């Protein structure tokens, strides 16, 4: 198995960083990349630490212990946090949505907000508590973290975005580590493994900032029900000679997960002994002064995976698997039609650039080839290959987007320019979000921790595209796109497989303009919103992209994306019935666009 990030399973590391904080280079052990000298001021403001250029890390005192608590257990708010506050201890509480439906045994977001207001550090433990040592799961880590961030910010306390993460089930892999680095996470805690065996009384490694990367902080002791005060003392005693003890607890008590339960009376003994013996107990974020960010260690575990798996046991992202099954089709789609760079194609396939170039040569695909014109003026419509961001702005509202809902409609004036149609981007039933083609606002499935996997378009011999998806509640929906001279005819349908009527059905269908440079100014002044249609003109003014939908409920556009919407409202759908709407996207060159809009309105009235 190749222990690398990009050559086998994962795209090349992203050097930019949305948050503006310094990120790490592909080796993760070299110097951080600082965009501006003044960035240090921002880091100080965000993290509350005295940081300055060329200031060496502080010496690690003896008896330094990091306290961490996982899984958002109810006892963290009811018992643990008040006790720690009374003792003057710091701690990090790693929170997840996974078990929040069980309100008897797990905290609410408001409970977590109250712990934050008590002065404790809140860390991210993902939304679904998945095994992120698998590349397939690591691919969606950004979305999972963002859902937790959003829920925290919506509390009364407005808990800020966490800077630390705890690997779920203590499993980790190079893809997840790289993703955390790309997202600007400062710390991540792993478990006792591989230094100690899970479920035993073996003691794990102490944290040594000169040996361990801050995104792979080891757990020294993972508290189990069979711990005793004597064993706890042995673990804590290792906090000496420049070594930091990191303790991992779950519930105190933990009724739902008894295998990681700590009895309250025993926990009180542990904490009292630390206090009586003058241990300093801190949160993960308080490790910052002891870390030399300019000389991070080349931790060998950065290229490791735990638990260990052979290549045949690794699960790849669904879109990556689909692309690898048809390399000839997707390489031509990406390189020739969408003009992807070699790096972008490597990102989609999870190969190295050399591997992509070699495969393209084997398949006789020339990236510099000019696409052949279609017959009869029929527009070219292709599935969007993913990987490349479809928006110019508001990208935080389009995390981990699914390519299977997106198709590129190529402009007749420029074979390399295209509009990406998100069909559909979202489906609502009253206030319930039934489907969203990316991660932003939680759907009804996110609330249930149910994952919606990507399904690619089915390609028909005549160039048409169609797809169908059946959700877990037996609601099905699908769409089709049929290329025509000068435009594309579209349809969206929904079938109600439940036993109740679906009221208030509305949709969002987004036409992304980023791929059409003449039309992608971040403004609304180049657009006409005239329900049931929307139009945008080129920078030259005489070329137009237009779209229209039956039952249009709202004609609008987001200037930051930028995009066009003529979002249709579906009829209420009784059990067993199917409802559908039709739409069109087309191109116009001339001076009388109002005539085009009037013609579209007339067609809708018929």
Q: What is the pLDDT of residues 417-454, one digit of tens each?
A: 999 999 999 999 999 999 999 999 999 999 999 999 99
Q: Is residue 15 part of a domain?
A: no
Residues 155-187 pLDDT 10s: 999 999 999 999 999 999 999 999 999 999 999
Confirm whether 482 is domain-assigned.
Answer: yes
Choice between 50 and 542, residue whose per-residue pLDDT is larger: 542
Q: Could you give the number of structural domains in the chain?
A: 3
pLDDT of residue 21: 32
Of 277, 303, 329, the one marking the end of a domain is 303
pLDDT at 372: 85
User: Looking at the domain assignment, is residue 141 inside a domain?
Assistant: yes
- Count Cβ atoms below 10 Å from residue 170 Cβ, excluding itself: 21
CA distance 288 to 49: 7
Are 234 and 87 part of one and the same domain?
Answer: yes
Contact by Cβ (8 Å): 243, 207: yes
- Closest to 542 (Cα-Cα) out of 563, 526, 558: 526
Q: Determine contact, residues 79/73, Cβ cutoff 8 Å.
A: no
Summarize pLDDT for 29-48 with one digit per residue, the tens: 333 333 333 444 444 444 44
Look up tokens 């036993």; give the residue.
499
* Whether residues 93 and 206 fall in one domain: yes
Tell me, what's the pLDDT at 26?
30
Tokens of 181: 């680095």
Check whether residue 126 and residue 275 sit in a common domain: yes
Evaluated on CA atoms 73, 79, 80, 81, the torsion sign reads: positive
From 30-34, 163-167, 263-267, 269-273, the region with the lowest mean pLDDT: 30-34
Averaged pLDDT for residues 316-333: 97
The 10 Å Cβ neighbour count of residue 384 is: 26
pLDDT of residue 375: 85
Examine the domain organization and report whether 329 and 414 are in the same domain: no
> 54 pLDDT band (50/70/90 cuts)?
low
The per-residue pLDDT for range 279-321, each reduced to its tens digit, is 999 999 999 999 999 999 999 999 999 999 999 999 999 999 9
CA pseudo-torsion sign 561, 456, 146, 135: negative
Any domain includes 32 = no
Percent share of the chain, pLDDT over 90? 87
| Assigned domain for 91 exists | yes
The answer to whether residues 537 and 596 belong to one domain is: yes
User: pLDDT tens-digit profile of 89-127?
Assistant: 999 999 999 999 999 999 999 999 999 999 999 999 999
Q: What does the pLDDT read at residue 141?
A: 97
DSSP 403-438: GGGEEEEE-TT-TT-EEEEEEEEEEEETTEEEEESS
Please choose, from the candidates 80, 46, 533, the residue with its C-alpha nearest in 3D space to the C-alpha of residue 267. 80
> Rounded to whole angstroms, what are the CA distances from 319 to 299, 384, 385, 453?
31, 11, 9, 9
In a domain, 368, yes or no: no
pLDDT digits (tens, 9 = 90+) for 466-523: 999 999 999 999 999 999 999 999 999 999 999 999 999 999 999 999 999 999 999 9
Verify that 441 and 477 share a domain, yes or no: yes
Instruction: Check whether residue 445 and residue 515 sit in a common domain.
Output: yes
In a domain, 490, yes or no: yes
Domain edge (last residue) among 260, 276, 303: 303
Query: With b meaning 16 or more CB within 10 Å and e meaning fewer, what string describes 520-546?
Result: bbeeeebbbebbbbbbbbbeeeebbbb
- Whether residues 86 and 227 share a domain: the answer is yes
CA distances for 582 relative to 193, 382, 423, 569, 574, angstroms: 56, 19, 11, 11, 20
What's the whole-number average pLDDT of the chain? 91
φ, ψ dihedrals at 218, nearest 5°: -75, 150
* In a shared domain, residues 490 and 464: yes
**Phi, psi for residue 179 in degrees, rounded to 5:** -65, -40
Same domain (yes/no): 393, 286: no
| pLDDT exceeds cutoff 90 at 228 | yes
Cβ atoms of 422 and 389 closer than 8 Å: no
Quick one: residue 71, left, alpha or beta (phi over 0 = left, psi -120 to 50 = alpha)?
left
**Domain co-membership, 250 together with 351:** no
Q: Which long-range contacts (CB under 8 A, 24 or more apart) does 57-60 make?
A: 57/209, 57/289, 57/290, 57/291, 57/292, 58/289, 58/290, 59/242, 60/209, 60/242, 60/243, 60/244, 60/290
pLDDT band at 374; cut points 50, 70, 90: confident
User: If phi over 0 gives left and psi between -120 and 50 gives alpha, with beta otherwise, what is residue 339?
Assistant: left
- End-of-domain residue from the set 280, 303, 326: 303
**Average pLDDT estimate for 6-15:** 38
Closest CA to 192 of 179, 201, 184, 203: 203
Q: What is the mean pLDDT of residues 376-395?
A: 96
User: Is the Cα torsion angle 178, 181, 182, 185 positive or negative in sign?
Assistant: positive
Domain assignment of residue 309, yes or no: no
Closest CA to 227 of 254, 188, 187, 193: 254
What is the structure's pLDDT at 376?
87
pLDDT at residue 59 greater than cutoff 60: yes
Q: For the chain, how are helix, strand and coil distributed in percent, rounded to 5?
A: 25, 25, 50
Q: Is 511 helix (H, G, I), strand (E, B) or coil?
A: strand
pTM above the 0.75 mark? yes
The pLDDT tens digits for 15-34 are 322 233 333 333 333 333 33
- Domain span including residue 533: 375-605
CATH number at residue 389: 2.70.98
Same domain, 294 and 323: no
DSSP assignment of 286-347:
GGGGG--TTS----GGGG--BS---GGGPPPPHHHHHHHH-HHHHHIIIIIIS---HHHHHH
Instruction: State the pLDDT at residue 51.
Output: 45
């Amino acid at each position: 198995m190749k222990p690398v990030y990009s050559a086998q399973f994962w795209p090349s590391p992203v050097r930019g960083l949305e948050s503006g904080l310094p990120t790490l280079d592909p080796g993760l052990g070299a110097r951080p990349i600082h965009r501006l000298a003044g960035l240090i001021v921002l880091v100080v403001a965000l993290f509350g630490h005295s940081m300055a250029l060329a200031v060496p890390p502080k010496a690690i005192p003896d008896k330094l212990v990091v306290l961490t608590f996982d899984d958002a257990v109810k006892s963290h708010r009811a018992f643990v946090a008040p006790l720690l506050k009374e003792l003057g201890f710091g701690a990090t509480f790693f929170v997840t949505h996974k078990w929040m439906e069980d309100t008897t045994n797990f905290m609410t977001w408001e409970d977590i907000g109250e712990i934050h207001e008590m002065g404790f550090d809140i860390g991210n433990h993902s939304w679904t508590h998945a095994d992120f040592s698998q590349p397939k799961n690591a691919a969606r880590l950004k979305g999972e973290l963002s859902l937790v961030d959003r829920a925290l910010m919506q509390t009364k306390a407005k808990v800020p975005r966490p800077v630390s993460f705890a690997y779920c089930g203590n499993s980790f892999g190079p893809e997840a580590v790289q993703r955390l680095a790309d997202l600007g996470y400062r710390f991540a805690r792993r478990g006792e493994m591989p230094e100690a065996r899970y479920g035993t009384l073996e003691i794990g490694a102490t944290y040594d900032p000169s040996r361990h990367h801050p995104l792979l902080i080891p757990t020294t002791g993972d508290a189990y029900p069979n711990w005793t005060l004597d064993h706890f003392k042995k673990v804590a005693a290792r906090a000496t000679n420049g070594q930091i003890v990191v303790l991992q607890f779950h519930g105190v008590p933990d009724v739902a997960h008894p295998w990681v339960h700590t009895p309250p009376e025993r926990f009180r003994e542990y904490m009292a002994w630390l206090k009586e013996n003058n241990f300093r107990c801190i949160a993960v974020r308080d490790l910052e002064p002891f870390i030399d960010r300019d000389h991070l260690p080349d931790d060998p575990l950065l290229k490791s995976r735990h638990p260990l798996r052979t290549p045949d046991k690794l699960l790849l992202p669904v879109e990556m698997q689909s692309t690898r099954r048809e390399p000839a089709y997707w390489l031509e789609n990406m390189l020739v039609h969408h003009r992807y760079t070699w790096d972008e194609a490597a990102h989609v396939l999870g190969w190295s650039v050399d591997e992509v170039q070699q495969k393209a040569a084997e398949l006789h695909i020339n990236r510099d080839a000019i696409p052949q014109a279609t017959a009869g003026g029929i527009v070219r419509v292709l599935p969007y290959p993913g990987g490349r961001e479809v928006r110019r702005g508001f990208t935080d509202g389009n995390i981990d987007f699914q390519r299977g809902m997106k198709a590129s409609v190529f402009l007749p004036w420029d074979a390399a320019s295209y509009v990406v149609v998100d069909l559909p981007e979202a489906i609502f039933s009253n206030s319930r979000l039934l489907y969203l083609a990316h991660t932003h606002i939680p759907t009804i499935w996110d609330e249930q921790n149910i994952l919606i996997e990507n399904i690619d378009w089915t390609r028909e011999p005549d160039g048409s595209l169609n797809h169908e998806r059946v959700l877990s509640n037996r609601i099905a929906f699908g769409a089709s796109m049929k290329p025509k001279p000068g435009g594309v005819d579209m349809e969206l349908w929904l079938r109600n497989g439940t036993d109740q009527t679906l009221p208030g059905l509305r949709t969002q269908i987004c036409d992304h303009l980023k791929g059409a440079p003449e039309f992608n100014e971040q403004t609304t002044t180049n657009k006409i919103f005239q329900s049931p249609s929307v139009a945008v003109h080129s920078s030259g003014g005489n070329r137009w992209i237009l779209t229209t939908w039956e039952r249009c409920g709202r004609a609008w556009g987001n200037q930051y994306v930028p995009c066009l919407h003529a979002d249709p409202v579906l009829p209420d759908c009784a059990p067993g019935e199917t409802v559908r709407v039709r739409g069109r996207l087309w191109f116009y060159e001339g001076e009388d666009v109002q005539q085009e809009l009037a013609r579209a309105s007339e067609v809708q009235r018929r």
